[in-house]
Amino acid sequence: MNKSEKCLLNVQNFYECIKHLHFRSLTQVLRPYEKHHSLHLHTHTHR
């Protein structure tokens, strides 16, 4: 395994970790926003 492969593996691992952590927090953060946004869109389409 050369240096770049090791680096790539590290980045991939890092990305997976970030993805896992962020996905959980993002869903929690975005859920209320999503609700608000869908409501907003809903009112717009009904005009």
The gap from C-alpha 16 to its chain's centroid, in whole angstroms, comes to 11
Is residue 43 predicted with pLDDT exceeding 80?
no
What pLDDT is stored for residue 28 in this prediction?
74
Q: Which of 38, 36, 35, 33 is nearest to 46 (CA)?
A: 38
Quote the number of domains for the chain: 1
What is the spatial distance between Cα 24 and Cα 36, in angstroms, rounded to a whole number? 19
pLDDT tens figures, 8-32: 788 888 878 777 776 677 677 767 7
Helix locations, 1-47, DSSP H: 3-45
Give the domain range for residue 37. Answer: 1-47
User: Rounded to two decimals, what is the model's pTM?
Assistant: 0.33
